Amino acid sequence: MKTAAAGAALLLLIVLALFAAATSILTGSGTPGGVACAITPEMVSRTAGGPVAASPAATGLASTLTLDGEQQTHAALIVQIAMERGLPARAAVIAVATALQESKLRNLTYGHLDSLGLFQQRPSQGWGTREQVLDPRYATGTFYDRLVKVKRWERLPLTQAAQAVQLSGYPDAYAQWESLAQRVVDALAGTCVTVIPGERVAAVIAYAHAQLGKPYVWGAEGPNAFDCSGLTMRAYQAAGISIPRVAADQWRYGPPIPRGQEQPGDLAFLRMEADGPGHVGLVIGGGQMIHAPNKRTVVKIDTYHRHDLIGFSRPAAQARTGRTDPR
């Protein structure tokens, strides 16, 4: 009993420390070298002072869920274990979203067949004994053990990464929790990132490059086909950044970048229509972009120096400020 009480007290201290870190980052005292944070004051106030709410863009159950003390404690443990293992924040986002879908972040003693715990792991499928999978630390650790064995898991859409571990009958269901999971992890871990330099821009471009040759299908978001904005949305998600779904909204999401100042990772917008650009591609440098043009062709590399070029935006700058451009 004393050991359990001591463990609970330690976890509470960790949670409080993480909240304090997130708050200090927002005020500037915890931000090293001017690095920007992917969190907003409103999100942290909701997390530190009460339940965490899903973002307005969430759908289904995710749009109505708030996290109570038990759920926040489990989320904090998931983030803590990722940090202990030196895993990137993306691992914690995948794990939190998975636990939200499987158990609503509760350590359930029941489930489909012999599924149990935060991740509804099955003893009969080699996840461990009943006692082990009902231990949140053990369950989280085994989830990460399997996640890191998935090839290029950091660059996969969340649904694919979670499904590779869970083998769920409803793999697309994980997607509805991504926004909330990202917000929870940001608030708990105080995630601060520079705006799409280095490895993040590499992850965005690498994801898009891996889709070359796949067919264009209107409304498709992968993994087997894409439309133009479905491709750019998924590429940014591969780097842990959520952007709007359609080209016109992606245009308004980030600040405009003057022609000649575009950089790899920026978005190039083309073909102005009544409500905004009708086409978008991902800048890769040298005047070229990766894009999904139309149903007559496939995802490919093309020049963006065309007569219908509108301009460029930098979505990562929007992720930093949290403000929508008024265009």
Q: Which residue numbers are catalytic? A: 228, 279, 291
Which pair of tokens denotes residue 87?
């895993």
Helix axes 178-189, 89-103, angle to 10 degrees: 130
Nearest alpha carbon to residue 235 among 268, 187, 277, 276: 268
- Collapsing DSSP states into helix, strand and coil, what is residue 38? coil
Integer angstrom CA distances of residue 267 from 170, 204, 264: 32, 11, 9
C-alpha 38/C-alpha 292 separation (Å) is: 28
At residue 29, what are phi and psi to the nearest 5 degrees?
A: -75, -20
Nearest alpha carbon to residue 217 among 302, 282, 294: 294
Amino acid at 271: R
Residue ranges with strand state E in the chain: 52-53, 66-67, 256-257, 267-273, 276-285, 288-291, 300-303, 309-313
- Residue pair 281/266 in contact (Cβ under 8 Å)? The answer is no
Cβ neighbours of residue 156 closer than 8 Å, sequence gap 6 or more = 150, 164, 238
Nearest alpha carbon to residue 41 among 16, 19, 60: 19
Integer angstrom CA distances of residue 230 from 171, 177, 199, 236, 299: 18, 18, 22, 10, 11
Cβ neighbours of residue 299 closer than 8 Å, sequence gap 6 or more = 208, 211, 212, 213, 214, 215, 216, 226, 231, 290, 291, 292
